[in-house]
């Protein structure tokens, strides 16, 4: 077993048996980053010394027989929009290039309490706005399977880090598919929990009613392991749900009996790549072979998801990003005539094109005379989308769909076509708009040897059901075992 291709569970077992140390695992990951990240660009910063010191501390505790956390000694990478005390958190933007948070995000506190080794901060589309990690102000993350292709976005750095063997676990954020889409492109597991299942305290806000933190892992077991570590109520996040967190790993190997899998007629729409359609239908056949019942469902308002999302998300972004004015913190333009000029120059120089585009879209949608026509109407359609899912889940246990309409696209292919890039989110935005959990699991390969994912959706707070259903598929296939050469 190679350290950098092993799962987190395998590494934990070997550390607990004394076969390997956390320092050895961390050193192997750091060596792999040093050797290969120059072509992949998964990381914006690597905390080498701090990671090694934490690994040695865990090794000492383990050797002394002291109590250890769930993730003791495992390297974890963090998307660089999650605040870590004393560590630069840039959101891949010149606006926050030198911002050092004075506090930890809630999930960082949870990881530290679990004795995880925080190895570095990963690249993303600026302020998490994008689907390819080409909108980063600093570098473009490439796909570990083929560096001519995009890793997806906005959490492309975290997905690439797990796929490339730089870390067995990583965290990202998902506002409209930003965990599931790059997970699909990079051939790893990516989970977006129920809205409120994981605290957003310390996550730099993009669209507050849509953002959710979730894990990347090499298999479903590892995703269940880290989700159980970071989920739970946090009083500092008013949207955090006060609901018991199951021990996800304890029921994972129990197949769901009398499983009903819903599928939608979107599989027959134009624009769905033939290889994605084929992989999705093959996945449904796997569930059939396990005795699951395939149930056709309708989501009448699904066709409005992208339009609804790209009104609500930019509107919330325009409000959230108003705080970056060159006064309190963040970038301030070096030359300006007066205060208004300082605001305009600072924001104009520090924000990238995609962020500016979304701020302008959102400001327009919220402006006087247009609020009712756009933002208010979008909120009403959002309610209808949620109603569709509530109705569907009365007759099915989970819903299976593609993650993206195509396999990974080449770098630069869509960067000048924002509408085509936005349409890459056609299958993922509905889960954010309705607040339900969704997971991407490896389910195939294209003829170009690029991964293809399957998306499973479940009702709110049914992550346990979602993970068990995903594990059923994983046990019958070997897509999750494949690694980029």
* Class of residue 236 by CB neighbours under 10 A (exposed 0-12, middle 13-18, buried 19+): exposed
Structure tokens at 32: 């792999």
Buried b (16+ CB within 10 A) or exposed e, 123-135: bbbbbbbbbbbbb
| DSSP one-letter code for 372 | I
Per-residue HEC secondary structure of 25-47 comes to: HHHHHHHHHHHHHHHHCCEEEEC
| Cβ proximity of 158 and 77 under 8 Å | yes
Pairing mode of beta strands 189-192, 260-264: unpaired
Non-local (6+) Cβ contacts of 459 within 8 A are: 389, 390, 393, 436, 465
Q: What is the DSSP letter of 376?
A: I
Active site residues: 79, 154, 178
The alpha helices in 114-241, defined as continuous H runs, are 156-164, 180-186, 220-230
Q: What are the residues facing 190 on neighbouring strands?
A: 216, 440
Residue 391's φ and ψ, nearest 5 degrees, are -65, -45
What whole-number distance in Å separates Cα of residue 118 and Cα of residue 141?
20
CA dist list (Å): 110 to 11, 226, 234, 244, 309: 20, 10, 11, 16, 30
Contact 118, 128 (CB under 8 A): no
**How many CA atoms within 13 Å lie on the side-chain side of 43?**
28
**Coil/strand/helix, residue 426:** coil
Bridge-based pairing of strands 213-217 and 189-192 is antiparallel
Q: How far is the C-alpha of 358 from the C-alpha of 347, rounded, in Å? A: 13
In sign, the C-alpha dihedral spanning 364, 425, 450, 169 is: positive
Rounded to 5 degrees, what angle do the CA atoms 41, 25, 169 make? Answer: 55
DSSP category for residue 232: S
Nearest CA to 185 out of 410, 385, 475 is that of: 410
């Amino acid at each position: 077993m190679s350290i950098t291709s092993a799962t987190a569970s395998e590494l934990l077992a070997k550390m607990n048996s004394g076969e390997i140390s956390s320092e050895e695992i961390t050193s192997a990951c750091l060596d792999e980053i040093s050797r290969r990240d120059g072509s992949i660009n998964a990381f914006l910063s690597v905390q080498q010394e701090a990671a090694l010191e934490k690994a040695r501390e865990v090794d000492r505790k383990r050797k002394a027989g002291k109590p250890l956390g769930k993730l003791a000694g495992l390297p974890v990478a963090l998307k660089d929009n999650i605040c870590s005390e004393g560590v630069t958190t840039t959101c891949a933007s010149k606006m926050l290039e030198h911002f050092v948070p004075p506090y930890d995000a809630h999930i960082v506190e949870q990881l530290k309490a679990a004795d995880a080794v925080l190895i570095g901060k990963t690249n993303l589309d600026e302020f998490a706005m994008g689907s390819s990690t080409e909108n980063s102000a600093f570098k473009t993350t490439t796909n570990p399977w083929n560096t001519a292709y995009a890793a997806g976005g906005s959490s492309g750095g975290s997905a690439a880090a797990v796929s490339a063997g730089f870390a067995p676990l990583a965290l990202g954020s998902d506002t409209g598919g930003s965990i599931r889409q790059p997970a699909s492109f990079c051939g790893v597991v990516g989970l977006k929990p129920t809205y409120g299942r994981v605290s957003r305290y310390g996550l730099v806000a993009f669209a507050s009613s849509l953002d959710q933190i979730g894990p990347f892992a090499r298999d479903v077991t590892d995703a269940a392991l880290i989700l159980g570590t970071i989920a739970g109520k946090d009083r500092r996040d008013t949207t955090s749900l006060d609901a018991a967190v199951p021990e996800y790993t304890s029921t994972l190997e129990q197949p769901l009996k009398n499983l009903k899998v819903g599928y939608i007629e979107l599989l027959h729409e134009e624009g769905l790549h033939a290889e994605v359609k084929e992989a999705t239908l093959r996945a449904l056949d796997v569930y059939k072979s396990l005795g699951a019942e395939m149930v056709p469902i309708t989501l009448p308002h699904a066709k409005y998801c992208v339009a609804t999302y790209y009104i609500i998300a930019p509107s919330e972004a325009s409000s959230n990003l108003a705080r970056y004015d060159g006064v309190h913190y963040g970038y301030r333009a070096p030359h300006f005539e007066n205060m208004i000029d300082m605001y305009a120059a600072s924001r104009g120089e520090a924000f990238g094109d995609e962020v500016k585009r979304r701020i302008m879209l959102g400001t327009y949608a919220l402006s006087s005379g247009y609020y009712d026509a756009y933002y208010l109407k979008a909120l009403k359609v959002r309610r209808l989308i949620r109603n569709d899912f509530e109705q569907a889940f009365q007759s099915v246990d989970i819903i299976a769909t593609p993650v993206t309409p195509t396999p990974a696209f080449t770098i630069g292919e869509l960067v000048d076509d924002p509408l085509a890039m936005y349409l890459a989110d056609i299958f993922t935005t509905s889960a954010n708009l309705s607040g339900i959990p969704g997971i991407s699991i490896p389910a195939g390969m294209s003829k170009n040897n690029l991964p293809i994912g399957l998306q499973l959706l479940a009702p709110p707070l049914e992550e346990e059901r979602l993970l068990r259903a995903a594990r059923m598929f994983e046990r019958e296939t070997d897509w999750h075992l494949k690694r980029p050469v």
